[in-house]
Structure formats: structure tokens, C-alpha cells
A and B are shown apart, each in its own frame.
Chain A
Amino acid sequence: MAGIPSRHKSIFLLTGVVLLQVLLLALQIKRDSEGRLIRVWTVGAFSPFERAGNHGIGRLRETWRHYFALQNTSRENEELRHENDELKMQVNQLQSKAVEADRLALLLNFHKSRENVPMLGARVIATSAGTASATIVLDRGSKDHIKKNMGVITPEGVVGKVVEVFDNTSEVLLLTDKDSGVGAMLGNSRVQSPVGGAGEPLLVMKYVANDDVVNVGERVVTSGMDKIFPRDLPIGTITDIKPGNPFKSIRIRPSANLERLEEVIVLLTLQPLQLNQETETAKPSASAAGKPVGETAKSPVSGGTAAKPAPAPASSAPVPAPANAAAAVKPE
């Protein structure tokens, strides 16, 4: 930068650096795969720390809880207090394990009730590093046969779909992300319309005509038309309806708690799925309770089918169009 006054050097540098990044943005928009290498490097570098952090935080939380349990005792009855503390600690541990066992049992039962659907359990180890997107990172990747565009759910409802896969981790775009979408229909009237995110906790159903009857509190379920999620999985409940032109503005509270996800299920197939209607409820049944779990906590629902992923997708998700909203999900 010879000849440029030193006080202007930083302005030139700023302009150059910003222009380079604008160019980088333009390249990414033009070619979707651009920049993937740097993502692989960054995610690869950070995921071991995230795993370690995840483990450490868990231990820290456990220790923290036990500390407070000990603080809640009286000084006057040393023996009783000691005994009480031990009991409290045991209760806390058992409660913590019971809650986890319930959660895992729910996942296992969910899987057992849908044995025709290959699934894999995964833990959430990180979230998006910014508020511009709603994504989570799972501790499972291509080594576990996870592929791009696979559906991700919990027993409560739809979570999102896999958008990026690395060796040991994968990224899931949550339903609440602006770019997210799922083929859906109303639980009662079976009117079909895609449901998408709006960058906030509630979801939006866009293409329901003003003539259609919709009620607050009505369930919204998957239509299966997006070829990602099986039909009749719960998506959410309608919380607000406003008339619009030409479509109603409908807001939906997601069934799955997307802000506090700890374990999820990945649907290990890219083919259209069918669920058994009679086994739709996710509550543990007597038949499921009697069967051995036989899986580690890391993979609560992975079964034999998990090792045999389905072949490539029959078709990609179609582009939404108000005139044919029934089969639409948002494009990537």
C-alpha cells in the first residue's frame, strides 16, 4: 500500500475485507456447495470441545444440584440431617435417572411402535452460534448412516430435518427457522398446507383459504406429502387465527419443545414413510415396557434397522405454491 497515507490504510483494508466477504456471499448464493470446506474444518475443530463441554456441564449440573440438596438441611439434627442429605442425594440421583429412563423409555417405545421405520437416537450437543438461524448439532453423523434431508422428531412431534452431515456430527434445521417447512394438514378437517418457521417460537401455516373452517386448539399433523416425515405425526396446536387475503394467518405452537431438546430421533430413511395408525400414541405401553431396552443412553432407540439405511430419496421435496399447497414444503 505504498503511496497511501497511513491513516487511510485501515479504510482501504476495511473496504477490501468487506468486499471480499460480499464476494464470498455472492459465490455461496450462486453455488450452494461453496464454503463447505471451511464449515467442515470449523465444525470439526469445535465439535470435540462441544462434546467435552456437554459432558462437563452435565457433571457440573449434577454436582450443583447435590450441593444445594445439602444446603437445605438443619444444623440442629446432625444425624438426621446427614441421613436426610444422603436420602436427598439418592432421591435426586434416582429422580434424575428415572426422568432420563422415562425419556429414553418413551423414545424406545416410540421406536418399537414403529418398527417398520428405521430410526436412530441422538443427543443434542450444540445449537446455532447466532440468532440468524435455528439449528442444533447432534452427536451422530455420516458414520451412523445419517444423510442430508432425513427427518428429525421426538415422541412429542416434529423437530426438523438434517441439513448438514459431518463424520461424527450433523446439523438439524429446526421447524422454527425461517427457511424451514414441512407438509402438514389440519387434524380435524384434513385441509393440507405447509407449515414453516418465522424465526420465532411459533410456527406459521400460510395457505389455508378463508372459507376453510379452522379452530383454535386444533391439532396440526404431518401430511406425508413432503416425502420426509410420515403422515400424522404431531406438529403442533393452533393458537391464533387471523383472516387474511386470500389466506388465513394461522400460528401454531410446536408440539415438541424445540427450545429444550436433549435427545431426538433421526428417521434413517429418505423414502416416503407410513406409520401404523393403531400405534400412534407415544405413551409407553405394557408390551413395550416388558421388553428389554438393550441400548446405551447415547443411542436410546437405535435398532437393527439403523445399520441398514434406506437408499437414495425417490424425489426431493417440491417447491411450495399457494395453488398446490397440499404437497408443498419450503425449498432449501
Chain B
Amino acid sequence: MNDAFDIRNMESHIEVHKFRGGAIVGATLLALMFQAFVPVYFAKAAMIDLPLLITIYFGLSRRNPSTGLLLGMIIGLLQDSLSGPTVPLGLYGIAKTVIGYVASSIGARLDTEHPAARFALTIIFFGLHQGIVLLTRRILLAQSSVWFTVHLAAAAVVNAIVAVFLFALLDHLRKS
């Protein structure tokens, strides 16, 4: 089998990318590590949701909804575990499961290699992620949260900018 192959007959121009051994696991663990201890030194870094960006990237690249949602679930549950006891297991898990699924589904239909497309998609996914977390908080946990703040909007843009560079970096982990 080729390392990069066509996905379906009807969408023969869309490629499914394969990655070097351990690339997904390594990138996931690094993202979680970054998220946990870099804000100790740079408080503003907490604005960047690297686990979300990793979920989006591998979802868009692998283009398989099943593996996308399972990867999202694992990343989300690990993030829940590292977010302290006030965050119940499943809060980020549910959100990232859905993001992994949607990203994989979109990745199978659209060309998501262009930086502008990646920028726009990351903003959309960030908003969707926040929306799911908010809905989970409000409906399942009965906690109040605001829908929109300037801080959230800024975080969406910052994450999208980081995503453009991060995704380009992660492209090097693909098997050529």
C-alpha cells in the first residue's frame, strides 16, 4: 500500500496521510505536557489549547471519522485528568470526541492543506469546542458560563495563528 493513497472513488483527489511511527502519540503527549507546565512560566500560554489543535490536525489529516473521534476522546480524557478534580472526566472528552469526528469528516471532503483554510477551520473548531464545553457545563453539570467574551474571541484567533505554524510543522511528520 502506498503511504498516501486516495480515499474513496468519488473523492479520488483527497489524500489520506500516514505518519511516522509514534508521531501521533508523541505529538499528543507533548501537547498535554506543554498545556500542563508551560503556563507556570508564561501565564498567557494557557490561552493556547494545544490538545485541541492536535485533535484537529490529525482529524483533518487522517480523514477517518472513527479514528478521529477515538483520538479526540483519548486526548480529551487525558486533558480532563490533568485539569484537576473540579473538571469532571468527560468535559473535554466529549468536546474533543465531537471535534475529532467533525474534523475527520470535513477532512475527507475538503482540501484542508492551505494555510487560510486551516486558519478558518481552527477558528470554527475552537468555537464549536467552546460551545460543546459550555453546553455540557450548562446541561449536564448545571454550571453557569458565559457564551462569548472578548478573551474567547482573542483565544480563537491566537489558536488559529498557532495552528497555521503548528500544522506546517506537523506536516513534516508525514511519511513522504
- Complex Cα–Cα for A25 and B138 (A): 13
**Docked-complex contact B94 and A21, CB < 8 angstroms:** yes
Q: Is A18 interfacial (CB 8 A cutoff)?
A: yes
- Complex Cα–Cα for A35 and B82 (A): 12
CB distance from A125 to the nearest CB of B (A): 7
- Complex Cα–Cα for A57 and B45 (A): 15
**Docked-complex contact A21 and B93, CB < 8 angstroms:** yes
We find that the number of chain B residues with CB closer than 8 angstroms to chain A is 51
Q: Is B1 interfacial (CB 8 A cutoff)?
A: no
Choose the segment among B19-27, B73-81, B115-123 that binds chain A (4+ C-beta atoms closer than 8 Å). Answer: B73-81
Flag A33-46 by CB within 8 Å of B: 1 or 0 each: 00100110111001
Partner of B89, one of A18, A24, A163: A24
Choose the segment among A126-134, A184-192, A271-279 that binds chain B (4+ C-beta atoms closer than 8 Å). Answer: A126-134
**Docked-complex contact A17 and B82, CB < 8 angstroms:** no
Q: Is A164 interfacial (CB 8 A cutoff)?
A: yes
Nearest-CB residue, chain A, relative to B50: A129
**Docked-complex contact B37 and A17, CB < 8 angstroms:** no
Flag B36-72 by CB within 8 Å of A: 1 or 0 each: 1111110100110101000000000000111001100
Partner of B84, one of A41, A61, A163: A163
CB distance from B35 to the nearest CB of A (A): 5
- Complex Cα–Cα for A127 and B41 (A): 10
Q: Is B101 interfacial (CB 8 A cutoff)?
A: yes
**Given A39-B81, A133-B84: A25 in contact with B40 (beta carbons within 8 A):** no
**Given A129-B83, A163-B84, A164-B84: A49 in contact with B91 (beta carbons within 8 A):** no
Contacts of A39 in B (CB 8 A): 81, 85, 89
Q: Is B143 interfacial (CB 8 A cutoff)?
A: yes
Contacts of B90 in A (CB 8 A): 21-22, 24-25, 28
Q: Is B33 interfacial (CB 8 A cutoff)?
A: yes
Q: Is B97 interfacial (CB 8 A cutoff)?
A: yes
**Docked-complex contact A132 and B83, CB < 8 angstroms:** yes
Q: Is A218 interfacial (CB 8 A cutoff)?
A: no
**Given A57-B41, A130-B35: A25 in contact with B87 (beta carbons within 8 A):** no
Nearest-CB residue, chain A, relative to B39: A127
**Docked-complex contact B101 and A171, CB < 8 angstroms:** no
Partner of A25, one of B37, B82, B141: B141
Q: Is B32 interfacial (CB 8 A cutoff)?
A: yes
CB distance from A155 to the nearest CB of B (A): 19
Q: Is A54 interfacial (CB 8 A cutoff)?
A: yes
Known: A25-B90, A131-B46, A173-B84. 10 other contacts (CB 8 A): A25-B91, A25-B94, A50-B36, A129-B32, A129-B82, A132-B92, A133-B84, A136-B40, A199-B145, A261-B40
Can you name 6 A-B pairs with beta carbons within 8 Å? Answer: A10-B64, A13-B66, A14-B65, A25-B91, A39-B81, A132-B137
